[in-house]
Structure 1
Amino acid sequence: MNEWKSWEVFVRSQNGIAHRHIGSVMASDAAMAMQYARDVYTRRDDFVSLWLVASDQVISSAGQDKEAWFGTARDKAFRHATYYPVPEGVQHL
């Protein structure tokens, strides 16, 4: 028998929008994980797509890397829209 592992579950409620993480399931293989995810997460809501990813295949940035990954360059003011003057007559930016 295969070892059970964790699978992350993503759903999409309608075409044209992004999938969102909804939870996780434990299963021995991808087919079983898909079945469990369907049974557990799609009973109450209508979805058009279901994605599963083995939890051990998900990578992320570490908390201590926040500034290096997501910090903005404060010395580059030209990257902010407030740097540029708004022409007359422009209503929606």
Structure 2
Amino acid sequence: MSLTSEGGHGAVPTGAEIPVEPRPAASRRDWPLYEVFVRGKRGLNHVHVGSLHAPDDEMAVHAARDVYTRRNEGVSIWVVKAADITASSPDEKDPLFAPSGDKVYRHPTFYEIPEDVPHM
């Protein structure tokens, strides 16, 4: 490798052999946060069981399996990047859900069930 002095900045490498400093490996604190959902038995809903950090989606599934299903509790695991979740705030409950309160036709008590309909 040859060096030259350019613009008074001292020795500067020239040619194709410019050394590149290695980037430090990302620490675990820099890994994205994932929310973990596990379905306990077939037919049941997935339930939020916790959070974890992982470098990518595949490792998040493996880590979730190791951490949250150690005793064969689950049959299915979902992992979702926390940054990809959009949620309402509990403080917004009244303005968000109030419009459905005045729509009585959405409540099953609005309808009369015929006597010959079983299991209702």
TM-score interval for Structure 1 and Structure 2 normalised by the shorter chain: 0.7 to 0.9
Scaled by the length of structure 2, what TM-score is found? 0.60
> Which residue of 22, 30, 35 corresponds with 2:62?
35
Q: Return closer, same or farther for 1:89/1:45 CA change in 2, 3 Å cut-off.
A: same
Q: Give percent identity, aligned residues only.
A: 42
Structure 1, unaligned stretches of length 5 or more? none
Structure 2, unaligned stretches of length 5 or more? 1-24
Scaled by the length of structure 1, what TM-score is found? 0.74
Report the equivalent of 1:55. Answer: 82
How much does 1:16 deviate?
1.9
Report the equivalent of 1:11. Answer: 38
- Equivalent residues in 2 for 1:41-80 (5 A)? 41-71=68-98, 72-74=100-102, 76-80=103-107
Structure with higher Rg: it is 2
Q: Distance in 2 between matches of 1:49 and 1:85?
A: 39
Q: Return closer, same or farther for 1:81/1:37 CA change in 2, 3 Å cut-off.
A: closer
Q: Return closer, same or farther for 1:21/1:90 CA change in 2, 3 Å cut-off.
A: same
Secondary structure of the residue aligned to 2:101 is coil
Secondary structure of the residue aligned to 1:40 is helix
Q: Return closer, same or farther for 1:43/1:88 CA change in 2, 3 Å cut-off.
A: closer
Cα deviation digits, residues 58-82 of structure 1 (max 9, x gap): 11012332112222434x4454444
